[in-house]
């Protein structure tokens, strides 16, 4: 549980703001699919590549997904808010505040899950690529603000994630 002295020193509202901002930034940082962002796990690794040409590009909406991060952040904030309800009153032999913490944690987890999914929604493009020396074309989806041009030469980089990047010979 959070240190009550720290909560009293900062004030509950300020603590909730700090947790909320941190949670939103962390969730948003985890939801980006731009080909220019590379994960640490992709650094200093040998990856395979292929070359090709963009045959077509279509705009797509990439739907966000949720995981434990949004639920955990929401549960923490909801539980913290629950500690500020009712005081020492009792309902059916149970301290009202305990009930509020439980419901606040559950509700916060649900809201955190939905918020994370909504923050992950963004625009992207689906590319059909004519890969050199391949019998079939391949399709790739990635987030970006501007599409690669039809007919543009590209390099496809295979790693933990696949990236399609412009290539100049």
pLDDT in tens, 74-117: 898 888 888 887 767 766 666 778 888 889 899 989 998 888 88
Rounded CA separation 148/146 (Å): 7
User: What would the pLDDT profile of 120-134 be if each residue is shown by its tens digit?
Assistant: 888 999 999 999 999
Q: What is the CATH number of domain 39-63+122-169?
A: 2.40.50
pLDDT digits (tens, 9 = 90+) for 19-40: 666 655 555 555 555 666 666 6
Q: Give backbone dihedrals phi and psi of 155, rounded to 5 degrees, phi first.
A: -115, 135
Domain ranges (residues) in the chain: 1-30+65-119, 39-63+122-169
CA distance linking residue 15 with residue 38, whole number of Å: 32
Q: Which residues are CB-contacts of 46 (< 8 A; sequence separation ≥ 6)?
A: none
Report if pTM > 0.85: no
Q: Which of 111, 82, 85 is nearest to 1 (CA)?
A: 82
Q: What percent of the chain has pLDDT over 90?
A: 30
87 backbone φψ class: left, alpha, beta (φ>0; ψ -120 to 50): left
């Amino acid at each position: 549980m959070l240190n009550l002295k720290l909560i009293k020193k900062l004030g509950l509202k300020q603590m909730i703001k700090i947790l909320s901002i941190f949670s939103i930034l962390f969730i948003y940082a985890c939801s980006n699919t731009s080909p220019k962002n590379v994960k640490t796990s992709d650094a200093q690794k040998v990856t395979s590549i292929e070359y090709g040409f963009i045959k077509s590009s279509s705009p797509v909406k990439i739907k966000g997904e949720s995981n434990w991060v949004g639920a955990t952040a929401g549960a923490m904030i909801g539980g913290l808010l629950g500690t500020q309800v009712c005081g020492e009153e009792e309902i059916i032999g149970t301290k009202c505040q305990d009930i509020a913490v439980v419901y606040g944690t559950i509700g916060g987890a649900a809201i955190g899950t939905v918020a994370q999914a909504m923050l992950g929604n963004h625009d992207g493009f689906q590319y059909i690529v004519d890969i050199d020396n391949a019998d079939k074309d391949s399709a790739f989806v990635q987030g970006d603000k501007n599409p690669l041009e039809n007919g543009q030469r590209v390099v496809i980089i295979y790693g933990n994630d696949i990236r399609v990047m412009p290539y100049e010979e």
